[in-house]
């Protein structure tokens, strides 16, 4: 059974940093690209970032480019999102998702709240 | 950057009725890279359709996707009570990995 479990969310002040993690199990992690998608309270889905199976290809949404860094550790079956210079508009539930082209499995998300 | 516009914003229907949801792209999208997701309150999104018309594993055949170019459609042939939810279309690519979501259509009980 595929499982994706996000962690690392919490309340953080504007301008500070946070690192999210996603622990994957139930599939061969290093065979697949992975993504982060977020959802602000009461709003729609927003793609944040994606990374290829070998970290050789990475993409970011314009809204986070230069502030967020995606990475993965295939030996640990883990995906990460380093978020720097956080803003109030980054407040959202952050999902990690496995990509088989489309996003076929999603975690339950970790909540990030940026507020003073 | 491709923008996906979904319509209508809200669809009010009764169980048993047919639902037709639209997703329009600002420029042509390869059909191979268009997906639809369902999201219920308090839950993560679930993949319904990929490649514009292929059902994901375990998705009932009352869900179907069609379209090409800039116009795509998700059809639910007969609404079941569990189908009332928000639906998102998504365009995706792999080099580099990227995605764009539409704003969503809420299907509510009339």
pLDDT of residue B30: 87
d(CA B103, CA B41): 16
Which residues from B are below 8 Å from A63, CB to CB? Answer: none
Interchain CB distance below 8 Å, B50 and A59: no
CA distances to A46, A52, A69, A71, B95 from A58, rounded to whole Å, are 17, 6, 9, 9, 8
B103: how many CB neighbours lie within 10 A of its CB? 17
First to last CA, chain B: 36
Least CA distance to B86: which residue of chain A?
Answer: A44
Query: Euclidean distance between the first and final Cα of chain A, in Å?
Result: 40
A97 CB-near residues (< 8 Å, 6+ apart): A4, A34, A35, A36, A37, A103, A104, A105, A106, A107
Q: Do B50 and A104 touch (CB under 8 A)?
A: yes
Three-state secondary structure of B78-97: CCCHHHCCEEEEEEEEECCE
Q: Do A103 and B32 touch (CB under 8 A)?
A: no
B20-29 pLDDT per residue, tens? 999 999 999 9
**What are B29-73's pLDDT values in tens digits?**
988 899 999 999 999 999 999 999 999 999 999 999 999 999 999
Residues of B in contact with A37 (CB under 8 A): 45, 99, 101
Bridge partners of residue A79, in order along the sequence: A22, A72
Contacts of B26 (CB under 8 A, 6+ apart): B2, B3, B4, B5, B70
CA dist A55 and B36 (Å) reads 26
More confident residue, B32 or B91: B91
Q: What is the pLDDT of residues A43-92, one digit of tens each?
A: 999 999 999 999 999 999 999 999 999 999 999 999 999 999 999 999 99
**Two tokens at B55?**
């059902």
What does the block give as tokens for A20?
């999210």
Please give the share of chain B, as a percent, with pLDDT higher than 90.
91
Cβ of B92 within 8 Å of Cβ of A99? The answer is yes
A interface residues, B as partner, C-beta within 8 Å: 33, 35, 37, 44-47, 50-52, 57-59, 62, 95, 99-109
- Hey, what are A65's tokens? 């480019």
Placement of tokens 């499995």 in the chain: A105
- The arithmetic mean of pLDDT across residues A95-106, rounded, is 96
Q: Quick check: B96 pLDDT over 90? A: no
* Rounded-to-integer distance, Cα A114 and Cα B24, Å: 33
Of B97, B89, B93, B84, the closest CA to residue B30 belongs to B93
The mean per-residue pLDDT over the stretch B2-26 comes to 97
């Amino acid at each position: 059974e595929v499982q994706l479990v996000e962690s690392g969310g919490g309340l953080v002040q504007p301008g500070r940093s946070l690192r999210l993690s996603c622990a994957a199990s139930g599939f061969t992690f290093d065979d697949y690209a992975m993504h982060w998608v977020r959802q602000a309270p009461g709003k729609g889905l927003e793609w944040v970032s994606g990374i290829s199976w070998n970290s050789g290809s990475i993409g970011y949404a314009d809204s986070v480019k230069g502030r967020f860094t995606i990475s993965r550790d295939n030996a640990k079956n883990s995906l990460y999102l380093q978020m720097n210079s956080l803003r109030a508009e980054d407040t959202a539930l952050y999902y990690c998702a496995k990509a088989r082209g489309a996003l076929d499995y999603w975690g339950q998300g970790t909540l990030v709240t940026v507020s003073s | 950057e491709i923008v996906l516009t979904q319509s209508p914003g809200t669809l009010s229907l009764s169980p048993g009725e047919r639902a037709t949801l639209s997703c329009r792209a600002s420029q042509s999208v390869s059909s191979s890279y268009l997906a639809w997701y369902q999201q219920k309150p308090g839950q993560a999104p679930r993949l319904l359709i990929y490649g514009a018309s292929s059902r994901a594993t375990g998705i009932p055949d009352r869900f179907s996707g069609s379209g090409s170019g800039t116009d795509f459609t998700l059809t639910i042939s007969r609404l079941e009570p569990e189908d009332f939810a928000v639906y998102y279309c998504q365009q995706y690519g792999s080099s580099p990995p990227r995605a764009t979501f539409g704003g969503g259509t809420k299907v509510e009980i009339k």
